[in-house]
Structure formats: structure tokens, C-alpha cells
């Protein structure tokens, strides 16, 4: 058992990694060198003076048996601690993307002094912390007054019960008979279509296939290459393997594998999705659903079979198996401008900013919403510093601690007074304001992804000063959001509607991802990323097609004298899919009906 474990944990003999320590490593780096020499065959056992100061107390009874050191447990303890130290940043690997020293992820100080003004212009965040805190304090005072007024109203949805603020759920919007009839008429008139024909038709409008270029060559697509492209995209979006798709299409299996390896990658999938989103953005009907400035994100969990790096055990969803989360970003126009696979055990909030900052479409995202798993106080701070509003739907709001600045006199808010217990440490924010600006500048200008820096900050054994100040500032922004949530029912309805759009798209994606009972068979991490991109592309293609044809149906209804109200059209969503056949067609040989035939020849296993 142990040799197998050590084989997987230790680096290959031909690979030498030069780890460095931030501060005292207590002999860990020396221990790692000794372990490496043993696996190279240069040593047969540990020296008597091998360092042991780094060994955590729970490991000591296993590592040290009297005066002797158990080599197996010594190696495991060193490798286990190395993993912990790499995550926290106490041990780093120079020039590594993921495990470099924390400072290397930020804009260098000398360069920061030159680009500070540009970052301020991009984010709208002032250089002066006092100015920003004064703005947020004024906003907080207004919202506190509105909530205090609601608490004074006997028929208000917001009440105080047993020392907690309780918000009554609002009634769902009821569909009128006219709206139900309109939805039925539109659904009945949408043409029935095969998913293959839908891809071809949408490509004829958007030319998304043009961005799928060979990795090394520059050549136009002919008919055969287009068939291979559509087959590869549809296979991965449907969770079919290429052998199954080859059987269904009559194309060669090796041809599909070759085409997928050379043409389909994250870069080309992202460009194709952007082309679809930009085309959809220009459609008139899209702007009835939203202006492209609000979005939401959420995850879908799928079981996975194999050794994917991101697959995790999560019994609640996967039983005794493993699975991954497909995390996707949805605009208020129903286009999905981002999607990526993430570990199912990691909180969604870690990744929520990634595709918003990586967005290269016509969408101009200024506000974002998630469910409870998508928020932390740090995320509130980062959104605000980046010039955006974060508006999550938080479960158990009454359990959230509310904060104020020391300048606000609670005597003016007698009913709200007992519920705002925290005071923001403004000095902490003033002292580290420029460092927070440097962080968001690094995010905005692409020096580092938000998920990577958040994971690095969270992994420190003691709270990092930057994490501490982000949480402090985020508490103020979170309080503003919660009070706004209490005060404005229209705002709550708007955000819930956006979250429902994401859920409707999840239903569509589940309908597409039907093969192999939705269990992911992919064995390679880069191929999993491509599969998520293909699912996103086909989903966006359906949204584009539905939007175009819903608009055509509406025009026809109006020509026939049907009074179609634009307000009603806001509730007619392009996520419907009953008219789209995603399962293919089945052909029966009429000549073989009711006739007896000899058994077929067996296959050659080597063919």
C-alpha cells in the first residue's frame, strides 16, 4: 500500500522542483531533499540527524518510534505538510502559476505607481478611501431610514419577531389568461427541428464555425470538416463519446478524434460562444428580457467516472462515487457567457468573479447575483472595488450580523438599533486601501484570476492582512445589500427572476446532456474543459435559434391581429426545448420486416 501511495505523491526522479520558504521552514525543505534522494536511489535510509522539527504533533507517535524514525511515515508527514504549506504560501515555487509567492500575483509596486490612475478610471473606485467610505456611509443612512420606516408600518412585509428581523415571502407573479394563451400559441407555432439542423442554421447566421482554426495551419472549412466540427461539438454537449457519434453519423472515429484534437480547444470554443452571444445581444427581443448588465451564476453537479483531477466525493449528490460541478454564468438575456468545471466540494464564491472579469462579449455586466453558496464578505468587497454591485440571495438573513460606521447615531433608528451590532474598523480600511486597489487592479488587468488569489488568501494558517481588510470592507457592503433587500420588494423580485433564468437554462442543459445517464466519462482535465465549452456553445445556439423564431412567431401573430404586449413577451423565455429533437433519428430497414435472416458475421476485434 505505501509504495503505491509514495509513487503517486512523490515527483518523478527526472523532475527537480526548487521549493523556497517564506520564513523559517523548520527543516521541511531539507527533509524533502532527503526523501527525493531516497527515491532516486542515492540513499537507502534516513540519516540519524534528519530534521524532525517540522513534524506536526499528531504525526509524531507514528514518525518517531523511540530513537528511530519510521521512513514511511516520515515521507508521508513531509509530503502532507508540503501540501499544506504550498496552499498557504509558506512554501512556494518560483515561476509557478499556482504555487508562486503571493506578491508575484500582483502588479509590481513600481509598475503600480504608473497604472494606478488607469485602474481608478476602469473601476470608478476613488484613490481616497475616505471619499468611498463617505459615499457608502450616506447610502447606508438612507437604507437604514427606509428599513426603520418599514418596521413602523403594521402591514409591512418586514417585521420584528423574537428579536429577529423577519421578511415575509412575496407572492409569485400569477400568469394571466392572455399570457398563458400567448405562450401556448408561440410554442405551437415553433417549427420542430433536429438539433443537427439547428446547429447548421445558427452557423449560417453567425458564422461561429469560422473561429475553429487548426492549431498550426490556416485553412477554410470544407463540407467534410464542417460535418466533423458539428459532430464533435454535439457529441461532447450530449455526453456521447466519439465512438458512439461515429456510429450515429457514419463518420470515422479516428477522424473525429483528430479533428477534436486540432480544432476544438478552450480558445476556439470561447471565441465561438462570444460570436453567438454578440449575435443574440443585437436581436430586438433580447432587450425585452434584459439590458445585458445583470447576470447570475450557479453550479450543476454531474457524476464522473475516472481519474479527473477536479472530481470529488460528495455523498449527498454522488453516493459512493465522485463528481464535478459545471459552474455557469447567465446574462439577463439568457445567454451564457461563461462556464467552467470546478471541484464539487469548493464553495461557489471562490469562482464567481472569474468569467465576469474574463467576459469579452458585448454584455456589460454591472450587477451579479447568486444563491447563498456564491457569497462571502470578501466577494462583496471585491465586487464593490471593481465597480460592480453584488446582489446575492442569502438564506437565513436574520442570522447575518449587520455593521455600521462609527459616525452613524443609532438613536435615530430605535427599531433597527438592536439589529446593527457591529462597527466597521475604518482605520484598517484607510491603512490598506491602496493595497486593496492594487489587488483589484491586478484582477482587472489580468495579472491573476480571482479564484486563484482567493484560494491563496484563504489558505493562510493565520488570516492574511489583505484578507482581513477585505472582510472588514465587505461587511459594510454586505450590510448595505441586506438593508436594500429588506427595503425594496421590486429589487427582490428582479433578482429572483434572474436566478430563475439560470435554473431554466440548467433544465435545458440537463436535457442536452442526456447520454450515459449524465455521467461524465472523460478522463482528461483539458478534455473536460472542452466538454463544458461545447455544452455551453450548443446551449447558446438553442437560445439564439429560439429567440429568432419566437420573434418571427410574434410578428406573424401581430399580422393576424393578435395583440401581443411587450410586457407579456418578457415572460416568454427562449429556454423551451420540446420542439427540438436531441436524440437523433432511428431508421428501420423495411426489406427486413417479418423475414428470417441468418445471423450476422462477428466483428474482427483487431479492425
* Among 483, 506, 529, residue at a domain's last position: 506
Long-range contacts (CB closer than 8 Å, 24 or more residues apart) made by 550-553: 550/186, 550/190, 550/285, 550/574, 551/283, 551/284, 551/285, 553/185, 553/186, 553/189, 553/190
Judgement on whether residues 306 and 394 belong to the same structural domain of the protein: yes
Q: How do residues 90-144 score in pLDDT, each as one tens digit? A: 787 877 767 777 888 899 999 999 999 999 999 999 999 999 999 999 999 999 9
Judgement on whether residues 51 and 140 belong to the same structural domain of the protein: no
Asked if residue 60 has pLDDT above 70, the reply is yes
| Residue 248 maps to a domain | no
Around 570, how many Cα atoms within 13 Å sit in the side-chain half-sphere?
Answer: 14
Query: Which residues are CB-neighbours of 151 under 8 A, at least 6 positions away?
Result: 158, 159, 160, 415, 416
pLDDT of residue 592: 80
Judgement on whether residues 344 and 463 belong to the same structural domain of the protein: yes
| Residue 91 maps to a domain | yes
Q: How do residues 313-347 score in pLDDT, each as one tens digit? A: 988 888 889 999 999 999 999 999 999 999 999 99
What letter would DSSP give residue 403? E
Query: Which residues are CB-neighbours of 166 under 8 A, at least 6 positions away?
Result: 158, 159, 160, 398
| Residue 77 maps to a domain | yes
Judgement on whether residues 49 and 138 belong to the same structural domain of the protein: no
Cα 310 to chain centroid distance, Å, stands at 13
Judgement on whether residues 364 and 431 belong to the same structural domain of the protein: yes
Judgement on whether residues 136 and 29 belong to the same structural domain of the protein: no
C-alpha cell at 311: 472530481
Query: Which residues are CB-neighbours of 377 under 8 A, at least 6 positions away?
Result: 470, 471, 474, 475, 478
Q: What is the mean pLDDT of the chain?
A: 91
Please provide the DSSP assignment of 273-290 as one string: HHHHHHHHHTSTTHHHH-
> Which range (50-64, 284-298, 382-396, 442-456) has the least confidence?
50-64
Range of the domain at 38: 2-100
Judgement on whether residues 66 and 139 belong to the same structural domain of the protein: no
Judgement on whether residues 443 and 487 belong to the same structural domain of the protein: yes
Distances (CA, A) of 20 to 17, 31, 408, 456: 10, 13, 48, 16
| Residue 7 maps to a domain | yes
Q: Which of 64-73, 76-85, 163-172, 362-371 has the highest mean pLDDT?
A: 362-371
| Residue 209 maps to a domain | no
| Residue 399 maps to a domain | yes
Judgement on whether residues 362 and 496 belong to the same structural domain of the protein: yes
pLDDT of residue 220: 66
| Residue 257 maps to a domain | no
Query: What confidence tier does 451 reach under pLDDT thresholds 50, 70, 90?
Result: very high
Cα 183–Cα 234–Cα 335 angle in degrees, nearest 5? 45
User: Is the model more confident about 63 or about 188?
Assistant: 188
pLDDT of residue 311: 87
Judgement on whether residues 7 and 94 belong to the same structural domain of the protein: yes
* Among 477, 506, 535, residue at a domain's last position: 506
* Among 506, 539, 556, residue at a domain's last position: 506
Judgement on whether residues 297 and 418 belong to the same structural domain of the protein: yes
Asked if residue 40 has pLDDT above 80, the reply is no
Around 163, how many Cα atoms within 13 Å sit in the side-chain half-sphere?
Answer: 4
Distance CA 226, CA 210 (A): 10
Distances (CA, A) of 274 to 139, 199, 533: 36, 16, 11
Percent of the chain predicted with pLDDT > 90:
68
**What's the structural domain count of the chain?**
2
Judgement on whether residues 467 and 407 belong to the same structural domain of the protein: yes
| Residue 526 maps to a domain | no
pLDDT of residue 461: 66
Amino acid at each position: 500500500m505505501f509504495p503505491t501511495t509514495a509513487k503517486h505523491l512523490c515527483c518523478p526522479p527526472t523532475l527537480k522542483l526548487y521549493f523556497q520558504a517564506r520564513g523559517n521552514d523548520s527543516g521541511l525543505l531539507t527533509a524533502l531533499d532527503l526523501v527525493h534522494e531516497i527515491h532516486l536511489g542515492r540513499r537507502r535510509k534516513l540519516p540519524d540527524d534528519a530534521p524532525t522539527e517540522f513534524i506536526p504533533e499528531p504525526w509524531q507517535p507514528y514518525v518517531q518510534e523511540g530513537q528511530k524514525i519510521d521512513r514511511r511515515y516520515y515521507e508521508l508527514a513531509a509530503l502532507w505538510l508540503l501540501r499544506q504549506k504550498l496552499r498557504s504560501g509558506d512554501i512556494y515555487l518560483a515561476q509557478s502559476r499556482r504555487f508562486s509567492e503571493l506578491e508575484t500575483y500582483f502588479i509590481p509596486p513600481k509598475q503600480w505607481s504608473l497604472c494606478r490612475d488607469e485602474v481608478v478610471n476602469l473601476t470608478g473606485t476613488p484613490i481616497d478611501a475616505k471619499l468611498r467610505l463617505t459615499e457608502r456611509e450616506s447610502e447606508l443612512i438612507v437604507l437604514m431610514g427606509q428599513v426603520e420606516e418599514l418596521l413602523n408600518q403594521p402591514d409591512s412585509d418586514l417585521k420584528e419577531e423574537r428579536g429577529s428581523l423577519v421578511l415575509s415571502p412575496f407572492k409569485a407573479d400569477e400568469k394571466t389568461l392572455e399570457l398563458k394563451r400567448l405562450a401556448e400559441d408561440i410554442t405551437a407555432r415553433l417549427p420542430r427541428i433536429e438539433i443537427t439542423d439547428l446547429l447548421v442554421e445558427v452557423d449560417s447566421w453567425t458564422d461561429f464555425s469560422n473561429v475553429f482554426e487548426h492549431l498550426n495551419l490556416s485553412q477554410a472549412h470544407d463540407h467534410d470538416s464542417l460535418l466533423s466540427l458539428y459532430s464533435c461539438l454535439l457529441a461532447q454537449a450530449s455526453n456521447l463519446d466519439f465512438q458512439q457519434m461515429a456510429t450515429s453519423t457514419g463518420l470515422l472515429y479516428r477522424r473525429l478524434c483528430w479533428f477534436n484534437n486540432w480544432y476544438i480547444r478552450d480558445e476556439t470554443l470561447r471565441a465561438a460562444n462570444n460570436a453567438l452571444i454578440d449575435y443574440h445581444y443585437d436581436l430586438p427581443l433580447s432587450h425585452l428580457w434584459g439590458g445585458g448588465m445583470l447576470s447570475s451564476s450557479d453550479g450543476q453537479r454531474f457524476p464522473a467516472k475516472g481519474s479527473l483531477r477536479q472530481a470529488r466525493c460528495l455523498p449527498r449528490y454522488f453516493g459512493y462515487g465522485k463528481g464535478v460541478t459545471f459552474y455557469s454564468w447567465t446574462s439577463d438575456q439568457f445567454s451564457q457567457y461563461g462556464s467552467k468545471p470546478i471541484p464539487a466540494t469548493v464553495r461557489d464564491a471562490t469562482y464567481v468573479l472569474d468569467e465576469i472579469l474574463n467576459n469579452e462579449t458585448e454584455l456589460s455586466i454591472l450587477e451579479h447575483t447568486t444563491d447563498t453558496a456564491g457569497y462571502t464578505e470578501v466577494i462583496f468587497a471585491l465586487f464593490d472595488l471593481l465597480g460592480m454591485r453584488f446582489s446575492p440571495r442569502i438564506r437565513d438573513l436574520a442570522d447575518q450580523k449587520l455593521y455600521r460606521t462609527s459616525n452613524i447615531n443609532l438613536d435615530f433608528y430605535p427599531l433597527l438599533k438592536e439589529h446593527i451590532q457591529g462597527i466597521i474598523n475604518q482605520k484598517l480600511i484607510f491603512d490598506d486601501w491602496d493595497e486593496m486597489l492594487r489587488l483589484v487592479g491586478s484582477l482587472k488587468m489580468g495579472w491573476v484570476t480571482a479564484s486563484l488569489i482567493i484560494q491563496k488568501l484563504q489558505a493562510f494558517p493565520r488570516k492574511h492582512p489583505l484578507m482581513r481588510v477585505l472582510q472588514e470592507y465587505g461587511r459594510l457592503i454586505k450590510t448595505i445589500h441586506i438593508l436594500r433587500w429588506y427595503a425594496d420588494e421590486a429589487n427582490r423580485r428582479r433578482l429572483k427572476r434572474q436566478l430563475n433564468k439560470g435554473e431554466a437554462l440548467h433544465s435545458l442543459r440537463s436535457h442536452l446532456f442526456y447520454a450515459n445517464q449524465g455521467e461524465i466519462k472523460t478522463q482528461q482535465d483539458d478534455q473536460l474543459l472542452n466538454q463544458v465549452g461545447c455544452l455551453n456553445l450548443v446551449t447558446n445556439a438553442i437560445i439564439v435559434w429560439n429567440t429568432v423564431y419566437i420573434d418571427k412567431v410574434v410578428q406573424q401573430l401581430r399580422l393576424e391581429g393578435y395583440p401581443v404586449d411587450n410586457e407579456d413577451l418578457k415572460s416568454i423565455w427562449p429556454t423551451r426545448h420540446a420542439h427540438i429533437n436531441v436524440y437523433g433519428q432511428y431508421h428501420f430497414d423495411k426489406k427486413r420486416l417479418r423475414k428470417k435472416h441468418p445471423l450476422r458475421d462477428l466483428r474482427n476485434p483487431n479492425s
